[in-house]
Amino acid sequence: MSKYDMTQIAVGYIDKTDIDLAKKVAQQWQLQYIGDVASVNKQSNLLFLLQVHFQQVELIKLDEPKLGAIKVDFVEGPVAHRRKFGGGRGQDIAKAIGLKHGFTPHVLDATAGLGRDSFVLASLGCQVTMMERMPIVAALLENGLARAKIHQEVADIVDRMSLIYASSIDDMTLANAPDVIYLDPMYPHREKSAAVKKEMRVFQALVGEDLDADNLLIPALKLAKYRVVVKRPSYAEPLNNKAPSTSIKMKKNRFDVYVNQAIPKAMT
Ligand SMILES: C[S@@+](CC[C@H](N)C(=O)[O-])C[C@H]1O[C@@H](n2cnc3c(N)ncnc32)[C@H](O)[C@@H]1O
């Protein structure tokens, strides 16, 4: 979890055409509204700024502006590239979820973050319910979804994605009968910060470490019809120290798969 409080995050706009959206974001997420982002200098207590820039909500770490702004972008950039060239149902996440059986489940992504994994799964045809507990992350995600809905190329994909702003440890059952639950909690960082991409450094500073992540596994195993998939760094212990049914190993990470029930043959 993070080491700051919500009074250290404010919302502003760059261009006057974004005043309404900036006010709406501030009100929805109960954040301080500062108007024009130029006035941020007058507020020495602030750590992060959500700036609205041509309808795009972006996050800046104010003491490290060189790291740049982070946003959720399903239309361009790495996520869009992966949609076009990412290997379809042959990629590891698809195998872990069970898609290679010709099975297209309803997935609960109970640690949604910036929604990249969810978008990959939705682009492969899954219905994806996302849960995110951090208001700033949820605000970025909600704005990314809204912008993607008006882009014809990805509109049908994001129509399969929905967001619930809640802690999945407390409220996992808000997701309606998921077939598969996907978990990717923040793990204590081991890599030297220079090696971590700039964008990731802003995200890590915002979210911190999900030190309560072990508590996700039991409710997930209770709720998932077929399986629970956990993304872990290669060097990490399994979640809650519980050995998975099987693992798919990649270079830096692995997917631990906990099978509750085999995917029925009729679905293949
Ligand atoms: C490593 S990020 C997930 C990245 C994501 N898989 C992606 O592709 O963008 C972990 C996210 O899970 C969220 N999270 C952790 N525990 C949670 C919980 N119990 N309920 C909801 N969200 C949670 C964190 O706030 C953080 O945004």
Q: Name beta bridge partners: 32.
A: 10
Backbone phi and psi for residue 43, each to the nearest 5 degrees, phi listed first: -115, 90
Pocket probe for ligand 1: among 111, 136, 253, the residue whose CB has the most ligand atoms within 8 Å is 111
Nearest-CA residue for ligand 1 atom 23 is 111
Find out whether the beta carbon of 184 lies less than 6 Å from any atom of ligand 1: yes
Instruction: Round to whole Å and give the CA distance between 174 and 166.
Output: 9
Backbone phi and psi for residue 232, each to the nearest 5 degrees, phi listed first: -135, 150
Nearest-CA residue for ligand 1 atom 25 is 134
Could you tell me the distance, in angstroms and rounded to a whole number, from the CA of residue 27 to the centre of ligand 1?
23
Using CB atoms within 10 Å of the CB of residue 250, give its burial: 0 to 12 exposed, 13 to 18 middle, 19+ buried.
middle
| 41, pLDDT greater than 90 | no
pTM beyond 0.75, yes or no? yes
Instruction: Round to whole Å and give the CA distance between 7 and 176.
Output: 34
Pocket probe for ligand 1: among 114, 187, 209, 210, the residue whose CB has the most ligand atoms within 8 Å is 210
DSSP 147: H
Instruction: Round to whole Å and give the CA distance between 245 and 229.
Output: 10
96 neighbors 229 (Cβ within 8 angstroms): yes
pLDDT of residue 217: 98
Query: In the numeric block, which tokens belong to residue 59?
Result: 């996050």
Q: What is the mean pLDDT of residues 53-68?
A: 95
Q: Kind of pairing, strands 227-233 and 9-13? A: unpaired
111 neighbors 168 (Cβ within 8 angstroms): yes
Nearest-CA residue for ligand 1 atom 26 is 113
Q: What is the mean pLDDT of residues 192-205?
A: 80
Atom of ligand 1 minimally distant from the CA of 116: 8
Over residues 95-145, the pLDDT tens digits come to 999 996 678 999 999 999 999 999 999 999 999 999 999 999 999 999 999
Q: Kindly state the percentage of the chain with pLDDT values over 90.
A: 80
CA angle 27, 32, 38 (to 5 degrees): 120
In order of 100, 116, 182, 199, the CA distances from 89 in angstroms are 6, 16, 16, 27
Find out whether the beta carbon of 185 lies less than 6 Å from any atom of ligand 1: yes
Pocket probe for ligand 1: among 186, 196, 252, the residue whose CB has the most ligand atoms within 8 Å is 186
Assign domain 77-267 to its CATH architecture: 3-Layer(aba) Sandwich (3.40)
One DSSP character per residue, 57-74 reads: EEEEETT-GGG--B---S
Assign 128 to helix, strand or coil.
strand
Could you tell me the distance, in angstroms and rounded to a whole number, from the CA of residue 15 to the centre of ligand 1?
31
Could you tell me the distance, in angstroms and rounded to a whole number, from the CA of residue 16 to the centre of ligand 1?
32
- Provide the residue ranges of all domains of the chain, joining segments of one domain with +: 6-67, 77-267
Q: What is the mean pLDDT of the chain?
A: 92
The CATH T-level fold of domain 6-67 is: Rossmann fold (3.40.50)
55 neighbors 162 (Cβ within 8 angstroms): no
Instruction: Round to whole Å and give the CA distance between 183 and 192.
Output: 24
